[in-house]
A = this chain, B = another copy of it.
């Protein structure tokens, strides 16, 4: 057990794509919403942008200001929620959470998902009692570090260093900018070269591979 002189390492966990296998449904939902608005965007390109702030995604994909961004985002959200019944946890997600709880590792789920999406993701996980914080009052979305810096401030008790676990390169970039160690899980479908290039210091297949190691 940590002594009072050595504050424990805390863990921040991304939710969407990291604890729930939701990246591919997001790709499909964005592709359909963009197509409905008259924009043809390659699915692999959409995949590359999943995990950055949704306010950044459309300008990034379409190359500048997007007049109908709010309507496309709303349509994406609805299409994603329409498929929420198919969402399942990533491999070992719940087992990792139980491992952290059992070993009394301070942890907090940090998500930029809106209220309705967050509820759908937690329902897929089958947990409604998890420590979780969101993107309210955060000035700049991932890959900016703001969300993670705000989350770190919310972790109860004294903590030392912070490890961030996420599936997207945008998570690893945000963590590195926030001065945290970034661990990546491959379950979002991002390549090792991409994750490593974004700053991930360790890459595993899925949350279950982190049991006993955080």
Contact = CB atoms under 8 A, between A and B. Distances in A.
Nearest to A21: B43
A186 interface: yes
B44 A186 contact: yes
Query: What is the count of identical protomers in the complex?
Result: 2
Report, as a range, how many residues of chain A touch the other chain.
Answer: 20 to 34
A180 B89 CA distance: 41
A214 interface: no
B86 A35 contact: yes
| A25, A42, A47, A191: most-surrounded residue (chain B CB, <10 A) | A42
A90 interface: yes
A152 interface: no
5 contacts: A24-B27, A24-B28, A32-B86, A42-B91, A191-B191
Contact of A24 (B43, B188, B194): B43
A23 interface: yes
A82 to B, nearest CB: 13
Given A32-B86, A86-B32, A193-B193, A24 B40 contact: no
**A-side binding surface: helix, strand, loop or mixed?**
helix
A189 B191 CA distance: 9
Contacts of A24: 24, 27-28, 31, 43-44, 47
Interface of A: 21, 23-25, 27-28, 31-32, 35, 40, 42-44, 47, 86, 88, 90-91, 186-194, 205-206
A90 B28 CA distance: 15
Nearest to A47: B189
A44 B43 CA distance: 14
A189 B43 contact: yes
B187 A42 contact: yes
B188 A191 contact: no
Nearest to A193: B193
| A28, A32, A43, A186: most-surrounded residue (chain B CB, <10 A) | A43
